[in-house]
Amino acid sequence: MATLKLLSFLILQIFCILEVANSQGVELGFYKKTCPNVEAIVKQTTAHYISRAPTLAAPLLRMHFHDCFVRGCDGSVLLNSTKGNQAEKDAIPNQSLRGFQVIDAAKSALEKECPGIVSCSDILALAARDAVELINGPTWAVPLGRRDGRVSILLDALKNLPTPFDNFTTLKTTFGSLGLNVKDLVVLSGGHTIGMSHCFSFSSRLYNFTGKGDMDPNMDQNYIGRLKIKCKSGDVTTIVEMDPGSFKSFDTDYYTMVSKRRGLFASDAALLTDSQTKAYVLSQVNPYGSTFFKDFGESMIKMGKIGVLTGKAGEIRKHCAFRN
């Protein structure tokens, strides 16, 4: 009898622990009762914009990445600067972070349907997923229930985001400190199969790699020649396609480019300097044997759980660019 009591007590304990663990995380179907059409509304809005401007998919994906890497996925990347505070948005000079209007439009549609319910960080996670699918990429189920942070500081972005100049060790450490492993690093870097980059993010590889007017020996010399035509030394305005020819289509081309030493950033090239990431890059080159789409969904779900605010933490913003 006593053992039975102890047993039921233990089982109750375990349920309580599970309950707490659950309420602290994001979950599938979080808005099932409070805003059942949330996914349809975000998808419709995202599709509306991307059908007119397919290049918007890339900045939406990147925005979710930046959101999660800086203070956790809390929508802080969406906040505007205020007097006396430069927000994360200001991090990159003339940055290519665009697509805020998509999030704002989805938010206002959702505020009509179910006011005060859906967080901006959740909208961003959904829009990033929908954007990828709309340009022929994979899709995945997004656990929801994030809440919005009240703080956005420029310095946090500068400190926490990986730079295009990072080597493998630094990248591994940055990702690792957020709970992402080496596989997540090589898989999520595949996000560079879409989008554009400013010349300044890689021009040191073309013109002044070690400060002696030299080129990066780890980049295909023919490719350097072609990039130099587009990017003159000191150019701060020109942008180029990261995956030339298919920068609007989500595919495995990124790995082909990296394997040919045509990855644009030193951080892309760094994936060839570690045996595990190199093996992954080479294994994705043949699209028929590729696991990239499945892997990408899994790593995006993991990334989307970094430092989330749930339960009573944070707030549900009324407007994504401003705290309430």
Ligand X SMILES: *[C@@H]1O[C@H](CO)[C@@H](O)[C@H](O)[C@H]1NC(C)=O
- Judged by the rule CB under 6 A, the positions of this chain that interact with ligand X are 80, 89, 93-94, 100, 167, 169-170, 208, 211, 213, 233, 236-237, 321
Structure tokens given for 302: 């993991």
DSSP string, 217-255: TTS-HHHHHHHHHHS-TT--S-EEESSTT-TTS-SSHHH
Query: 64 an active-site residue?
Result: no
Backbone angles phi, psi at 169, to 5 degrees: -60, -45
CB of 120 to ligand HEM, least distance (A): 18
**Which amino acid, residue 238?**
T
- Is 192 a binder of ligand HEM (CB under 6 A)? yes
Q: Stretches 6-14, 75-83, 157-165, 204-212: which one binds ligand HEM (CB under 6 A)?
A: 157-165
- Is 277 a binder of ligand HEM (CB under 6 A)? no
CA distances from 37 to 23, 113, 199 (A): 22, 8, 41
Contact 296, 254 (CB under 8 A): no
**Which amino acid, residue 121?**
S
CB of 145 to ligand HEM, least distance (A): 21
Residue 74, annotated ligand binder? yes
- Is 197 a binder of ligand HEM (CB under 6 A)? yes
CB atoms within 10 A of CB 268: 22
What span, in angstroms and rounded, lies between the C-alpha atoms of 225 and 291?
Answer: 32
What span, in angstroms and rounded, lies between the C-alpha atoms of 291 and 307?
Answer: 27
- Return the beta strands (E) in the chain as ranges: 196-198, 239-241
What span, in angstroms and rounded, lies between the C-alpha atoms of 142 and 144?
Answer: 6
Identify which of 118, 95, 55, 96 has the alpha carbon closest to the alpha carbon of residue 319: 118
- Is 166 a binder of ligand HEM (CB under 6 A)? yes
Residue 313 binds what, of ligand HEM, ligand X, none (CB under 5 to 8 Å, by partner type)? none
Residue 268, annotated ligand binder? no
Of 64, 66, 198, 319, which one is the catalytic site residue?
66
Residue 201 binds what, of ligand X, ligand HEM, none (CB under 5 to 8 Å, by partner type)? ligand HEM
What span, in angstroms and rounded, lies between the C-alpha atoms of 302 and 297?
Answer: 9
Q: Stretches 4-12, 22-30, 44-52, 191-199: which one binds ligand HEM (CB under 6 A)?
A: 191-199
Taking the least distance from each CB to ligand X, the nearer of 182 and 285 is 182
What span, in angstroms and rounded, lies between the C-alpha atoms of 237 and 239?
Answer: 7
Taking the least distance from each CB to ligand X, the nearer of 174 and 193 is 174
Taking the least distance from each CB to ligand HEM, the nearer of 106 and 271 is 271
Query: What is the contact mask toward ligand HEM in residues 218 to 257, using x (rule: CB under 6 A)?
Result: ----------------------------------------
- Catalytic residues, by residue number, are 66
Which chain residues interact with ligand HEM by CB under 6 A? 58-59, 61-62, 65, 96, 162-164, 166, 171, 188-189, 191-192, 194-198, 201, 265, 267
Residue list for the binding site for substrate:
162
